[in-house]
Amino acid sequence: MRQIVVTQTGVGSTAPIPLDVHGRPEIGLQVDVTAPGSWTLEQTLDNPFTTPPANILWLPHPDPNMVAQTVDRQGNYAYVPAAVRLTLTVGGAAKLTIVQAGILG
């Protein structure tokens, strides 16, 4: 899977970022704080293509180092959620980079 990079400025969330649920489960995550604020990485098992946006259940990443943070962090998934998003709860700006392992060809 290609590298995905999204940014969020100010309070709010990025659009859902679908992951390859049929791909390898190893996923690297990096959040780069570019302006002071507080962020949380959220995930869902709901299909972002078929679930109405208001009905998607977003839960915080299970690693507390990826929840309510104000500094740069790296984390991972050992399983594939259907989608992730970056949510800023206090101003600022941050960049989320996602790399999902792929098949070498």
pLDDT score of 2: 76
Give domain status of residue 18, yes or no: yes
Helical segments of 1-105, H only: none
Give domain status of residue 61, yes or no: yes
Give domain status of residue 67, yes or no: yes
Output Rg (C-alpha) for the chain, integer angstroms: 13
Task: Tell me which residue range forms the domain holding 22.
Answer: 6-100
pLDDT score of 105: 42
Ramachandran sector of residue 91 (left: φ over 0; alpha: ψ -120 to 50; beta: rest): left
Give domain status of residue 75, yes or no: yes
> What is the distance in angstroms between the CA of the first residue and the CA of the last residue of the chain?
12
Q: Which residues, 6+ apart, have CB-to-CB distance to 70 below 8 Å?
A: 33, 36, 37, 38, 39
Q: In total, how many domains does the chain have?
A: 1
Summarised one tens digit per residue, pLDDT across range 49-73 is 999 999 999 999 999 999 999 999 9
What's 35's domain CATH number?
A: 2.60.120
Give domain status of residue 105, yes or no: no
